[in-house]
């Protein structure tokens, strides 16, 4: 059985951990507010570019453009967004499992691992990781996704990949974020009303050549923002739960310490009373 000194030391240790947890919770909460504002800003831009991309794809002749044309799939590229750090509950496990489930189709998969957790996971699985992005600062996410979009276009146009997917965590609310896998290339053509043909300057192909890279950039930036927001929400919820568990442990240890202390005091009082009785009996006997 633990001594009072051991219990007191455990209480101090758990209290120190609790303070660290609270600090991490505050950091995650602050980051969540900031990244969520960024996400709300990029969503309308992405939706409008998505509408334009689908509108162009519905036009006659667009389906023959390399960005829209379906190919025989020999190589599939997956961009998987995970975090660089843990303590986010099941956030990383859910998205890596979702991506792996989507990959199991007998094709030759190539992976762009964004985040150290995804890199470590797919390395253990023996997957073909063609590029790794780790420790991308928050301030560089916009320019980082722009560079990734340019690399992606070159990689796709040279035939290194016949289809491109991105696996990320879609943010719904602080308590609800869903891992998803969506196709980036070739761009999915959505059937729309073709009665109103649209003319593009200088021509349709040139417009597509300039519009799709921007669309991919915004789609990547939005996916990064969705994932980062989900990560901070998951970490905040996880730290909140850990903080409550620490408080409960401290409370139980404190009760145990108080019971042991009360038992020790009771025992000391019993010994004192017993000693006094012995002395009194001895004194009466001498008289």
Residue 194 pLDDT: 55
Query: What is the tens place of the pLDDT at every residue in 159-177?
Result: 999 999 999 999 998 889 9
Beta-ladder partners of 167: 80, 181
What does DSSP say about strands 163-173 and 75-81: parallel, antiparallel, or unpaired? parallel
Residue 282 pLDDT: 62
Percentage of the chain exceeding pLDDT 70 = 92
Does residue 75 contact residue 162 with C-beta atoms inside 8 Å? yes
Please indicate whether residue 275 or residue 14 has the higher confidence score (pLDDT). 14
| Res. 287 pLDDT band, cuts 50 70 90 | very low
CA distance 24 to 30: 10
Does residue 164 contact residue 77 with C-beta atoms inside 8 Å? yes
What does DSSP say about strands 176-185 and 108-114: parallel, antiparallel, or unpaired? unpaired
Residue 215 pLDDT: 94
Residue 196 pLDDT: 65
Residue 279 pLDDT: 67
Residue 30's CB: how many other CB atoms inside 10 A? 12
What does DSSP say about strands 128-133 and 176-185: parallel, antiparallel, or unpaired? unpaired
| Res. 94 pLDDT band, cuts 50 70 90 | very high
Any idea which fold 4-19+241-286 has?
A: Helix Hairpins (1.10.287)
pLDDT at 193 over 70: no
Q: Provide mean pLDDT across the span 265-278.
A: 75
Percentage of the chain exceeding pLDDT 90 = 40
Residue 112 pLDDT: 96
Q: Provide mean pLDDT across the span 226-243.
A: 89
CA distance 4 to 201: 82
CATH superfamily, with its number, for domain 35-235: ATP synthase, F1 complex, gamma subunit (3.40.1380.10)
Q: What 3-state class would DSSP assign to 74?
A: coil
Helices 204-286 and 91-103 cross at an angle (nearest 10°) of: 140
| Res. 264 pLDDT band, cuts 50 70 90 | confident
Q: Is the peptide bond before 27 cis (omega within 30 degrees of 0)?
A: no
- For residue 190, report the phi and psi dihedrals to the nearest 5 degrees: -105, 120
Residue 160 pLDDT: 92
Residues in the chain: 287
Q: Provide mean pLDDT across the span 17-37.
A: 85
Domains of the chain, by residue range, sit at 4-19+241-286, 35-235
pLDDT at 195 over 60: no
Task: Identify the CA nearest to 257 among candidates 75, 16, 14.
Answer: 14
Residue 28 tokens, joined: 């995650």
| 49 secondary structure, DSSP code | H
CA distance 210 to 134: 29
pLDDT at 148 over 50: yes
| Res. 286 pLDDT band, cuts 50 70 90 | very low
Spatial neighbors of 81 by CB under 8 A, at least 6 apart, are: 95, 114, 115, 118, 166, 167, 168, 169, 223, 224, 227
pTM above 0.85, yes or no: no
Does residue 119 contact residue 264 with C-beta atoms inside 8 Å? no
| Res. 283 pLDDT band, cuts 50 70 90 | low
CA distance 230 to 232: 6
DSSP string covering 181-221, please? EEEEESPPPPP---SS----SS-HHHHHHHHHHHHHHHHHH
pLDDT averaged over the chain?
A: 86
pLDDT at 111 over 90: yes
Residue 106 pLDDT: 61
């Amino acid at each position: 059985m633990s001594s009072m000194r051991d219990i007191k030391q455990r209480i101090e240790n758990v209290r120190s951990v609790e303070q660290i947890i609270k600090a991490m919770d505050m950091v995650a909460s602050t980051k969540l507010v900031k990244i969520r504002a960024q996400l709300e800003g990029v969503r309308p831009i992405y939706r409008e570019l998505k509408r334009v991309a689908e509108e162009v794809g519905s036009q006659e002749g667009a389906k023959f453009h390399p960005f829209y044309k379906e190919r025989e799939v020999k190589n599939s590229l997956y961009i998987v967004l995970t975090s660089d750090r843990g303590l986010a509950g099941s956030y990383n496990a859910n998205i890596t499992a979702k991506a792996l489930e989507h990959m199991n189709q007998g094709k030759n998969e190539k992976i762009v691992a964004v985040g150290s957790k995804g890199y470590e996971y797919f390395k253990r699985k023996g997957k073909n990781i063609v590029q790794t992005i780790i420790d991308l600062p928050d301030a560089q996410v916009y320019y980082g996704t722009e560079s990734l979009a340019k690399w992606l276009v070159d990689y796709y146009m040279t035939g290194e990949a016949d289809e491109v997917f991105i696996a990320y965590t879609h943010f719904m609310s602080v308590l609800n974020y869903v891992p998803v896998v969506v196709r980036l290339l070739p761009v999915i053509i959505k059937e729309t009303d073709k009665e109103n043909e649209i003319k593009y300057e200088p021509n349709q192909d040139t417009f597509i050549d300039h519009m799709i890279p921007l669309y991919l950039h915004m789609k990547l930036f939005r996916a990064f923002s969705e994932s980062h927001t989900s990560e901070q929400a998951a970490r905040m919820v996880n730290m909140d739960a850990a903080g409550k568990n620490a408080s409960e442990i401290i409370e139980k240890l404190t009760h145990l310490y108080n019971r042991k202390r009360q038992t020790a005091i009771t025992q000391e009082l019993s010994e004192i009373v017993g000693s006094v009785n012995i002395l009194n009996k001895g004194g009466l006997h001498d008289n």
